[in-house]
Structure 1
Amino acid sequence: MSENLDTKALLRLMAWLSPAFPVGGFAYSGGLERAVHDGLVKDAAGLSGWLSSLLRHGSLWNDAVLFAEAWRRFEDEGGLKATAELGLALAGSAERHMETLSLGKAFATAASAWPHPVLDRLPPAVPFPVVVGAIAAAHGVTAAPALAAYLHAAVSQSVSAGIRLGVSGQAEGVAMLAGIEALIIEIAERASKTTLDDLGGAAVQAEIASLRHETQHSRLFRS
């Protein structure tokens, strides 16, 4: 990427998007568990295709657009509130709403270890991409690298969920992350230049899987 991060910003970004950061992302699959249950994702190739679709046309694309909007408007309390409300309204299911809201609240609480006025500008109910975008901007993390890190963390979490659900092994999971790297960079670069007019998706099966997960009797994940 053409944009550079200074060392302090890089360290903060690594901390915030680390699996060790206390947001509880490991508890969610974003509907993937239901997709596996229904046979929509059967193996590593299927999981890779599923994630690529989410990045190009689904929830991860919309998250990236919301992230970019929050990044631009981190000093605008009214703008952040409106973006947060839109992000929550776009949640396609009760579980998707719960997931993005729970992660957003947990992220804001954990990020308070790095005090900044942006924390007071964020509304109490804030979706995950909005809070990460706003806090990244407030701490001087440039947009495209921040987006790439956010999307990579989301994809990594899904790969980890896929391994736990038995559709991929560890080696296949690492290969998947390597193979999807270029797409993550492409989407991050493109999303960093978007406006809210670029919101929209066509990953219908993923949305249906998220809805159906709400009534799944036996499950490992909360979404």
Structure 2
Amino acid sequence: MQSAALIHLLQLASPSLPIGAYSYSQGLEVAIENGMVNNDGSARRWIVDQLRHVVAVFDAPILWRLLRAFAARDQQAVSDWTERFVAARDTFEFRAETIQMGYSLAKLVADLQIADASLLGILQSQAEIPLPTALACAAVALDVPHDAALLGMLFSLAENQVLVCVKSVPLGQVAGQRLLLSLRPELEACAQQAQQLTDDELSNWSPGLSLLSMQHEVQYSRLYRS
């Protein structure tokens, strides 16, 4: 990868990117509240299960398709996969999370003027902009290779989950970094699978996670928005 693309990727994957990712736990907070995640071992199992059974078979493959659609300036494909992703958010919090972060990143793309008119037009033509759509547009606009952009998204997701565990289980800082290092093979496998699945193989079937998300909506005390 060229140095410019690497720098752009690091910026997109940075926790300091002002889209509010730090304020969401994606159901993890209620799992901690219920005692399902209570140490480094259970934290790793949670993150690995999420990667294998949710992200690798739906979120990541859709991002991969959106990256290719934006690169081809295929507005219809972008709209189709955007609508499918939003429709698959089966709880109020999961839907609000991706729309809020997508809106923030899309606004950032426009404010920074990093996308050409065709890319920006496709992005802004969407009725709703979830995070994968905005991220794909930003990555293509910044000439980040598709496989690198996919890994960057996966790492950001895993890093955010680890940070939730560090703050809320709680895990120590060293334990958190050890956990993040141990996830490398899982992240690579997830990225590889995302690029190989056919459209008919995609699935967001994760009823346990959906139920936890619904519980979080009425959780008495919480730090995170999902």
Q: Decide whether the 8 Å contact of 1:27 with 1:222 is kept in 2.
A: yes
Instruction: Find the counterpart in structure 2 of residue 57 from structure 1.
Output: 53
Find the partner of 1:67 among 27, 48, 63. 63
When normalised by structure 1's length, the TM-score is 0.92
Q: Is the 8 A contact 2:115 2:138 kept in 1?
A: no
> How many residue pairs were aligned?
219
Deviation readout 1:41-88 (Å, 9 max, x if unpaired) = 111111111111111111464210110110111111121111111101
Please report the TM-score for the alignment, with normalisation by the length of structure 2: 0.91
Take 1:22 and 1:159, find their aligned partners in 2: how far apart are those partners? 19
In 1, the alpha carbon distance for the partners of 2:109 and 2:192 equals 25
Q: Give the C-alpha shift of residue 201 in structure 1.
A: 4.0
Report the secondary structure of 2:18's partner residue: coil
Cα distance in 1, alignment partners of residues 200 and 143 from structure 2: 25
CA distance in 1: counterparts of 2:217 and 2:55, whole angstroms: 17
Aligned equivalents of 1:41 and 1:178: distance in 2? 19
- Equivalent residue, structure 1, for 2:120: 119
Match of 2:7 in 1: 11
Return the alpha-carbon distance in structure 2 between the equivalents of residues 59 and 178 of structure 1: 19
Tell me the amino acid that sits aligned with residue 120 of structure 2: L
Amino acid at match of 1:106: S
Matched, 1:44 2:68: no
Counterpart among 144, 147, 150 of residue 147 in structure 2: 144
The equivalent of 1:198 in structure 2 is: 201
After superposition, the Cα gap between the structure-2 partners of 1:24 and 1:30, relative to the gap in structure 1 and judged at 3 Å, is same
- 2:67·2:140 contact (CA, 8 Å) conserved in 1? yes
Structure 1, unaligned runs of 5 or more: none
Indicate the SS of the match to 1:13: helix
CA RMSD of aligned residues (A): 1.6
Pick which of 46-55 and 131-140 moved more: 131-140
**Aligned-pair identity (%):** 27
More helix by share: 2
Deviation of 1:203 after TM superposition, in Å, equals 3.7
Deviation at 1:197, TM superposition (A): 2.2
After superposition, the Cα gap between the structure-2 partners of 1:52 and 1:164, relative to the gap in structure 1 and judged at 3 Å, is: same
Matched, 1:35 2:31: yes
Residue identity opposite 2:78 in structure 1: L
